[in-house]
Structures are given as C-alpha cells and as structure tokens.
Amino acid sequence: MPESPIRKLVPYAEQAYKDGKTVYHLNIGQPDIKTPQIALDAVSSHSLDIIAYSRSEGSEEYRKKIALYYESHDIHVKHSDIVVTTGGSEALLFAFGSVMDADDEIIIPEPFYANYNGFSTASGVNVVPVISKIENNFALPPIAEFEKLISPKTKAILICNPGNPTGYLYSKEEIKKLAEIVKKYDLFLIADEVYREFAYDGHQHYSVLQEESIHQHAIVIDSVSKRYSMCGARIGYLVSKNTEFIKTALKFAQARLSPPTLAQIASEAALQTPQSYFDHVIEEYVERRNTLISELNKIEGLKVAKPNGAFYCIAELPIKNSDHFAKWLLEKFDVNGETVMVAPAAGFYSSPNVGLNQIRIAYVLKNESLVKAVHILKEALKVYKD
C-alpha cells in the first residue's frame, strides 16, 4: 500500500510543535467551517436505547431524503439507487471492487486524489493515468489521449469533479465527451462528486447522473464530509441507476454490516441545512481562493492553476523536489517561530517522476492565516537550496 502523501509528513509536524513552532496547515482538506447546528443537535437529542446496526445500504428513511436532495440538484434517482457508506472512501472501495477484477485497469486523469492509488492497490487493479496539465488549469485531457489507453482490461474511467487536488470543475461539454467514450467502449464512468456544492464564479456543477444516455454506466461517489463540514461523521454514498452494480455493491456493504448509526442521524438532519449556509460557505471559500491565488502570484517563479471548485490548488515551485522542501519547511525553517505544512504533489500522480516540483495547497484556513502562510512560503523559497 502506498503511504498517504498528505499524512506521511505528520511526524515532522509533530516535532515542529514540540520545538515550539506554529504550523499553518495548508496540507489537509479538513475544513474549519462549523458543522450545521441542526446536525449536532440531532445527535445530542437522539432517543435511541441501543445504538444498533442499520440496514447495510443505510436506513430507508435516510435514503429517501437523500433522493430528495438529489432531486433538488436536478439529479433524478430513487432511494434504491443509493447505498450509504462509511464515507466517500468506502464508496470508492466498493465501486472499485464491484466493477473490476484483479488486474483490470482504470483510467484516471492525473493529478488525482492520492487515495485512488491506495484503493486501486487494495483492489488489485491498475491505475492507467492520463496527464492533465497545469498550463490549462488541469482541464480534461483530449479524448484521443483516453482512447489510446483503452485496452481489453479497461473497465472504468474515474474523474473527480470538482477536482481534488486541481480545483478544476469539468464543464457540461467535457462530461458529454466522457459520456461518448464510455458508451463507445462500454465502460463505467465513476465520478467522485464529493465537492459538488463547491463551484465558483457562477459555474454550475454538471453531474454524470444528469447525462441520461449513460445511466447504465454512471456511478457517483458522494460524501457529507466536506458538504456539511462533517468529516468525522464518516458518511458517504454510492449512487447509480445500474441495478446490477448496486446489487453487487450491496454485497460489499453486507460484509461490513452497517454504516455508522449515529452518524446517519446527524447526516439525515444535515439534509435540512438551509441554502444560506452554503451561500455563506461558498462566499468564504471564494474570498480565500482569491486571497491565496493573488498572494501566490507575487512569488517569483511560482506557477499556479486557478481553481473554480473544491478548495485546493496545485502550485509549481521553482525547486526540484517538493517532498524534500516540505520536510525542510517543518524541520529547518521558520519565520518568527512559524512555518507551513504543504502536501508534496508527486503522490497525486501515478506516473513516476511527475509533479516533483509541485505542491497541493488546501485553502481551509482563514484569510489572515493564508496571507501569513504564503509569506512564509515566499521567504522559504528565497533561502531554500535543493
């Protein structure tokens, strides 16, 4: 199993705290936004006598409400098209296990969410990367590039929309292009849409489930983690109109018995979160993104792709090895006792030796902290030697 490129630096950060340093965490997608009160209240006032298992696919009542949530996003699914999982992470594992056998292949535009590598390894399947480029903000690579990679072992294409780590939001046209290719080669199109709500600058998120012609091919990975800032609840879902797929995924769900019961109560309540909560959160992220990008652009030799979704961006630094740089920041560098933690981007690629000079930045800190963190990065780059 590969290490998480995000979590592997934690021991260095812990040492930095012990050394008395303040560390700005630009490395991890743990939002600092408050969880909706309605979700917290639902847990503190529950009336259960026993915290029992729920149904393996999640309680019917909850899934019916999830279907209504999708309806409000112009996605038409029934509760029977949904399996509640222990986070989007488990949804990914179930999807991989359900659509692929050992040694099958999955095509993924890279850079991609690093744990796709881990889930592929755990499922015994091979990631076939197709490179998207910082020069065009990590837009969908030309379809011809996908076609070149399709082999008899290819079972699926996986996208993350909007993207972690790129922040790129695929357009309706790009989703339609993917729909054509999965139909042509009879593949699954797995779309990780856990950041669906986080679309900026007037852009609309377009779900693969809105593309009717691929209803038998489309699988959505979803999660409450980022939507309601409920990462620790560990609730996600698999959604597909392909009944054979749902039947197979349910076998995986039965093997692990049940998604967490109390967290389903919180997540069901969270569905009542008013739109004003999201409006406020999106406003906050847009402001942070604007601050971050404008501060980063002041650093000489740094290149950054402007994100229009999620809360991450990839920056290319004027250095050779960001893995070494990230450790050095924690071990050897500070500005008045303060330093930053970043995620080296090589772990977000499966192609070897790509992205070595890139880092992923998560803008989950308040504006003032972002400004300070980028200032530290700027000072560090002045003195750092590869």
Footprint on residues 136-165 left by ligand PLP (CB under 6 A): 160, 164
Strands 312-316 and 105-110: unpaired
Residues 330, 24: Cα–Cα separation, whole Å: 10
In whole angstroms, the minimum distance from the beta carbon of 29 to ligand PLP comes to 5
Q: Kindly state the tokens that stand for 222.
A: 């979803």
Q: How many helices (H) and strands (E) does the chain have?
A: 12, 13
Angle at 163 between CA 80 and CA 265, to 5 degrees: 40
Q: Kindly state the DSSP code that residue 48 receives in the 8-state scheme.
A: -
225 binds ligand PLP per the rule CB under 6 A: yes
In whole angstroms, the minimum distance from the beta carbon of 137 to ligand PLP comes to 17
In whole angstroms, the minimum distance from the beta carbon of 141 to ligand PLP comes to 18
342 binds ligand PLP per the rule CB under 6 A: no
In whole angstroms, the minimum distance from the beta carbon of 236 to ligand PLP comes to 4
Angle at 106 between CA 100 and CA 108, to 5 degrees: 150
In whole angstroms, the minimum distance from the beta carbon of 194 to ligand PLP comes to 5
3-state secondary structure of 223: strand
Helix 87-99 vs helix 243-255: crossing angle, to nearest 10? 120
Burial class of residue 276, CB neighbours in 10 A (0-12, 13-18, 19+): exposed
In whole angstroms, the minimum distance from the beta carbon of 320 to ligand PLP comes to 27
Interface with ligand PLP (CB under 6 A), residue from 43, 231, 335, 354: 231
Phi-psi region of 167 (alpha: psi -120 to 50; beta: other; left: phi over 0): left
264 binds ligand PLP per the rule CB under 6 A: no
Nearer to ligand PLP, 67 or 309 (CB): 309
Nearer to ligand PLP, 29 or 295 (CB): 29
194 binds ligand PLP per the rule CB under 6 A: yes
Q: Kindly state the DSSP code that residue 335 receives in the 8-state scheme.
A: B
- Closest-approach residue to ligand PLP (CB): 87
Residues 331, 328: Cα–Cα separation, whole Å: 5
58 binds ligand PLP per the rule CB under 6 A: no
In whole angstroms, the minimum distance from the beta carbon of 290 to ligand PLP comes to 22
Nearer to ligand PLP, 310 or 370 (CB): 310
Site map 79..98 versus ligand PLP, x via CB under 6 A: --------xxx---------
Strands 188-192 and 218-223: parallel
Binding site for ligand PLP (CB under 6 A): 29, 87-89, 113, 160, 164, 192, 194, 223, 225, 231, 236
